[in-house]
Structure 1
Amino acid sequence: MTRSRVEAGPSAGLPAGDWSPYARLEDAARAYFLHPDVALAAIGGMLGRRRVRGFTLERVVDLTEAGASVWQEAAVCDGRRLVLWHSEEVEDRAAPGGTVLDSSVQVLPLSEVRHVGMRTLVGREGPAAGIRRGVYVVVTTGAVQELSAVPPDEGGSGTARFRPEAFRFSKSLDDGGPGQIDRLVAFGELLGRLVPTAR
């Protein structure tokens, strides 16, 4: 199967708007997602009446042998929890059109977060000096996502290596543009400020 990451634009049949100018989650989702009502219903059911403190959105076009499908993601922080939603189209020959939308949501208490890391790429020369060219945010928890055996040394015993659960977010000038870079930086900074007080 061939899979490639492509910024989804008007040619993919998606809303063409940039979500970064919108302060409200509802407005941003409607400007950016292909299925905003599904996303907002899933996230809203978890948030209840709690206020959204910050969020970041992503969408990716998956190119496979079967054609193109859209993967969508939202990470929303209400000050105490991280609500994570994503959806993708999956094959279902019994459904009209041959696909269904697989919508998933989970809630992570910020008290479970063990690490928030952020790496930014900043231009150094010419007109791009001082301009952010990309940002990567990683959030890890204490949960074990993968456990693998390590072969024993000579005369020693084997050990195990574990990989913690991690959630990764990224934006660049090519994927999202400067507005979404700034919004993801703000989201990472928000999580970094809130995590110590959530324990």
Structure 2
Amino acid sequence: MFGKATRSRPQAPPGAAAAGADWSPYPRLEDAARVYFLHADVALEAIDGVLGRRRVRGFTLERVVDLTDAGTSVWQEAAVCDGRRLILWHSEELADDTAPGGTVLDSSVQVLPLDTIGHVGMRTLVGRDERGGRVDRGVHLVLATATPHELSAVAPEPGSALPASAKLRPEAFRFSKSLDDGGAGQIARLIAFGRLMGRLVPGV
């Protein structure tokens, strides 16, 4: 869906490693994406096209590697806040026998005004190290909107005279990091991102 970026690719930041390296030491979105994403050019082009001249206030990155019958599949996601919008990019490799290499990259971007987010919830798992010092062992962040995402029927209790009802689940975006999945640096970055969203989302 997105063409190759026309601008020249900058040099990787000092100490950059192969895709999948820890992105948490890099405060700039571009540097973090280039050390973490397999398809950084696609991600940055999609995000920059929406971001324009607005400044990135905070971001978090995620990638999941799945082993399937067709081989290895990589799912990648970026959540970026520019102070008034939440920009979500994600990609997934899809099997396509007609494409060279047998796969294509499904890349998509979604933009949400911050005033459409009605709930910011963050749960932090706090532990202690061997010396008794505090250690953040994990964090779960939920950003929920009022947009209906799923409507399911709820059957009444047996023998109840009440009619069947419906349960509405709003659209929600979930992010998580742990010591095993991302490490302490990415936990800290996600906590900072969650706190930023809590400060900026109107009415929260």
* TM-score normalised to structure 1 length: 0.89
Secondary structure (helix, strand or coil) at the match of 2:163 reads coil
Equivalent residue, structure 1, for 2:136: 132
1:59 partnered with 2:63? yes
1:180 partnered with 2:186? yes
Secondary structure (helix, strand or coil) at the match of 2:168 reads strand
- Deviation of 1:17 after TM superposition, in Å, equals 2.2
Give the conservation status (yes or no) of the 8 Å contact 1:122–1:129: no
Secondary structure (helix, strand or coil) at the match of 1:127 reads coil
Could you say which structure has the higher helix fraction?
1
Q: Distance in 2 between matches of 1:159 and 1:128?
A: 50
Q: Distance in 2 between matches of 1:130 and 1:156?
A: 50
Equivalent residue, structure 1, for 2:175: 169
Give the conservation status (yes or no) of the 8 Å contact 2:96–2:103: yes
Q: Distance in 1 between matches of 2:147 and 2:154?
A: 20
Secondary structure (helix, strand or coil) at the match of 1:28 reads helix
Unpaired runs of at least 5, structure 1:
1-13
Q: Distance in 1 between matches of 2:109 and 2:60?
A: 15
Equivalent residue, structure 1, for 2:91: 87
Aligned residues: 186
Aligned-residue Cα RMSD (Å) equals 1.6
Q: Distance in 1 between matches of 2:53 and 2:19?
A: 28
Moved more, 123-132 or 170-179: 123-132
Q: Distance in 2 between matches of 1:190 and 1:59?
A: 22
The aligned amino acid for 1:182 is A
How much identity, in percent, do the aligned residues show?
71
Q: Distance in 2 between matches of 1:106 and 1:158?
A: 35
Secondary structure (helix, strand or coil) at the match of 1:49 reads coil
1:111 partnered with 2:115? yes
The aligned amino acid for 1:169 is F
Equivalent residue, structure 1, for 2:7: none
- Deviation of 1:126 after TM superposition, in Å, equals 3.0
1:78 partnered with 2:77? no
Equivalent residue, structure 2, for 1:156: 162
Q: Distance in 2 between matches of 1:152 and 1:178?
A: 46
